[in-house]
Amino acid sequence: LEIPDEKGNYPSHLAAISGNLETFEYLVDLNIDMSRKNNEGLEPIHFLAMHDYLDLLNRLLELAQVDINASGEGGSTPIHYCCIHNSVRCLETLIAHGADMYKANDRQTYPIHAALENVNRKCIEVLFAEERKQRGKGQPTPKFLLVVNENEKPERGSRRWSFRRPSISPSKEMPQTVTLVNHINLVDSEGDTPLHTAVRSGDLEQVKLCLDHGGDIMAVQNDQETPVHYACSKSDLECVKLMLEARPNQIELCLAMVNRSGYTPLHIATLYDHVPLLEYLVKQGAPIDATDSTGLTALLLGAKKGSYRSCCRLIDLGANVSSSDANDRNIVHLMMLHYQSGIQGMMRIFEMSLVSEDLVFRKDSSGCTPLHYAAEHGRHCMVSSLLRLGVTILDRNADGDTPMHLAAQHGRNKVVQYLLESPEGIRALYQEDMLGQNPLHRAVTQGHVHITEMLLEKGGIFRKCHAGNSPLHLAARCGQLEICQVLLKLSPAMLDQVNFEGLTALHFAATNDCSEVVDFLLTSGAQIVPSNDGVYFVTDALNRRHYNTLKAIIMHQRWPEIWNQFDGTTHCVLDGLIREIPSLY
């Protein structure tokens, strides 16, 4: 009788699990310890509550000394297990014997939350009924009272309040203030009230039950979410109706409340693209142009998240189509940035409004038009639509970039093709950013061969940027071998061009350890000349210990030429090779 099995269950546990009254009574009569815990921290009383073994529970309470509020797994009491498993009879019996209905487990979950989470309505009704019974039938349900430690008084709006309840057995250490608590106002570790939990369960009967017992539709949990926010997150229109109709005097305030992200219920309904719910909220007076913490109205949030059906309906209902967020991005900017299926249909429906309001032409705080974002992200269909609406491709952002710059930089082949075919396409080829780089510079830097070829076919010229770098300089610096081959095929004269520091493409390739490009440039006949500071490409590679580049130089057929050029001069690399990289030499 004193030996547990591999799960830590003693015979008393097994008798409780089996539900055999005769065996259980026999063990109780032997006066064995009925408070032993198994490996999960469960006592026999927890199993009786779990399986609703009323007869066994009665015998246990009559004949044995047990803790009726014993903590089981995770600190859950027998009442928790009754509420989880819908053990109504045992729940009533435990409460009748003085069990604490207001004791939370380690996760700060109360029995009322457990019953609601598991949609056990009868247990919920028992808890509310027992509360009314204990308070007196004719008395109104008392409000939730707070006990505040004067030394640690939280700030206004803080959730760090301590709650006190009357003890079943009076304690010598009484709290500062004796208070009464209600099931309906208890909060769990997430700050959820029972009404929050009922809404999450999706059971309207439970929601109604909580409302009938004073559930607050404006109560906020740890993330400042009200039960109405929860219902909107679930797109539960009927639940929202039930709560708002139950508290008609609170509708205006409730619909204006925001969660920690600054979202009103209308924001959330739009976020999940639930049009009927959205229509109902607006009809009830939801502020249609309220903004979140980043300046997004419900309309802008819908555009950002791809909720285009909701966006269309909001515009029909009077939402301000010209609104913009904290970055001055309007609805068109956000649609280009966060492209979702259905965007083309919305653009067709409202394109005249978007044009008349100048939304397709406006710049945001970084100077970008919607076309900049469409080009950067490769939205070629949207680029075509914006071009058709008359958006210019020559507008620059704060960095001096045109849409062509961004499309070339990010390898958007179709977008570049559309832009080149537009009336302003040729002019866009020659536009320079703040560094003096045109779209060709951007394409070669990133190694976009097809775009480079397209730009050159349309007449792209080999201009230098403000630092004097040609496209070949930039391609060599970034190790873009195929681009270098394309450029030299069309313009061999670029091979030995120098920038304002006297550096050639060969210098750039050696400095950045682009050994394949170094090999190609040497094979192409690149001249071995010093920079304005008198530094040769091979010296730079040695100083930076670029093993691969030095190996390519030594193994190249022009190595004897290079050796002879520097032998006996201060630029001879022999000593340096032996000293720095002897294995290579």
CATH number at residue 558: 1.25.40.20
pLDDT band at 440 (very low <50, low <70, confident <90, very high): very high
Residue 67 falls inside a structural domain: no
Identify the pLDDT of residue 575. 67
Q: Is the dihedral of CA 252, 256, 259, 260 positive or negative?
A: negative
Per-residue pLDDT, 173: 47
Q: So what's the pLDDT on residue 138? A: 45
Tell me the residue ranges of DSSP E strands in 465-513. none
C-alpha to C-alpha distance for 50 and 89, rounded to whole angstroms: 11
Q: Is the pLDDT of residue 275 over 80?
A: yes
Residue 147 pairs in a beta bridge with 162
Confidence band for 177, pLDDT divided at 50, 70 and 90: very low
User: How high is the pLDDT of residue 340?
Assistant: 81
Task: Provide the domain count of the chain.
Answer: 1
Residues 2, 289: Cα–Cα separation, whole Å: 70
Task: Give the confidence band of 576 by pLDDT, cuts at 50, 70, 90.
Answer: low
Per the domain annotation, does 506 fall within a domain?
Answer: yes
Residue 192, in any domain of the structure: no
Contacts for 569 with CB less than 8 Å, ≥ 6 apart: none
**511: domain range?**
488-585
What's the alpha-carbon Rg for the chain, to the nearest Å?
Answer: 38
How does the average pLDDT of the chain come out, rounded? 88
- Checking if the pLDDT of 184 tops 90, the result is yes
**What number is the average pLDDT over the span 516-529?**
96
**Residue 328 token pair:** 């001055």
Taking the C-alpha atoms of residue 436 and residue 463, their distance in angstroms, rounded to an integer, is: 9
Residue 570 lies in a domain: yes
Per-residue pLDDT, 351: 77
Cα 407-357-369 angle, rounded to 5 deg: 20
Q: Are 213 and 184 in contact (CB under 8 A)?
A: yes
Tell me, yes or no, whether 45 lies in a domain.
Answer: no
Are 214 and 141 in contact by the 8 Å Cβ rule? The answer is: yes
pLDDT attached to residue 210 = 96
- Look at residue 102 and tell me if it is in a domain: no
pLDDT at 71 over 50: yes
Name the more confident of 205 and 139: 205
Position 228 in a domain: no
Give the pLDDT band (50/70/90) at residue 167.
very low
Does some domain include residue 405?
A: no
Cα separation, 103 vs 96, in Å, equals 16
